Amino acid sequence: MTLLRKDRRDSDFLTTIAQIGVTTHPGGKEATKTLFEKLDLKEGDVVLDLGCGSGRTLTFVSQSYPVKIIGVELKSELAKEARQRTQFARDRVIVLKGDIERLPLRDNCVDCAFSESVLNFVNKEKALSEASRVLKREGQIALLEITFKDKKIDRINRLAREVFQVPQFEILTSEEWCQILKSFGFCVKSIQQLPYWWQGTDKEEALVEARLLIGLMMRWSLRRFLLTWRLLFALTRYSAIGLYWGVKEPVSTS
């Protein structure tokens, strides 16, 4: 007898975390703080969270900076959770159900856009093209994404696609991230790597991680759950938390 359920056909990682109702990212709140220390945010700026999940970073930003913030989330359950979590700041926080590959926003309306462990799961070209479209001239882009420390390792990407059941999932190197950012008109100003398991001493973060792992264990097959641990060990050895900060370059009129 086992408590582990067999995989459902639609149980990709993003669907599963929406069912669990909790989202997190490597590095947790401490990595988020490090990322935002790089940004030059002014009072009244409009900040866009690309894939806001359950709204934990929306809460942090609204409590820490005098900005307006928009969260875009594909999963209805998570968008609802994010709205409830940010009720205290509803005059400055808007949560939209939408796709970051087709943002429901007009051109040149955002001062800063950021993502945290989201772009590896989607079409990076489409998402960054949309981020560039909605950002104002010289707007800021900030990414927190799992990154290979050195060279790209295809077998880890294949394992990750099997675990997450997301066909387009792909981890890049820092060089590749810089190339793709530059191809969409961003000037990369800063690159930093943090250890994969780096997340300070935040007890709340540890509880969130535990809730997520228990949720995965109860929903995924034993084989898939064991593959998850194999993937985590590989990521700890060969990857890092990549922090990238850049600015949208003005379009030349010459």
Predicted pLDDT at 181: 97
* Torsion angles phi and psi, residue 185, rounded to 5: 85, 20
pLDDT in tens, 22-78: 888 888 889 999 999 999 999 999 999 999 999 999 999 999 999 999 999 999 999
Region 208-220: mean pLDDT is: 86
Predicted pLDDT at 201: 53
What is the torsion angle, in degrees rounded to the nearest 10, for the CA atoms of residue 68, residue 72, residue 76 and residue 77?
-60
Residues whose CB falls within 8 Å of the CB of residue 88, separated by 6 or more in sequence, listed in order: 62
- Model confidence at 5, pLDDT cuts 50, 70, 90, reads very low
Per CATH, domain 23-151+169-200+240-248 is 3.40.50.150: yes
pLDDT in tens, 132-169: 999 999 999 999 999 999 999 999 999 999 999 999 99
64 near 235, Cβ under 8 Å?
no
Residues whose CB falls within 8 Å of the CB of residue 71, separated by 6 or more in sequence, listed in order: 48, 49, 52, 55, 58, 79, 82, 86, 93, 94, 95, 96
Mean model confidence pLDDT for the chain? 90
Predicted pLDDT at 202: 64
pLDDT in tens, 178-193: 999 999 999 999 999 9
Predicted pLDDT at 3: 35
Distances (CA, A) of 65 to 36, 50, 146, 178: 10, 18, 25, 27
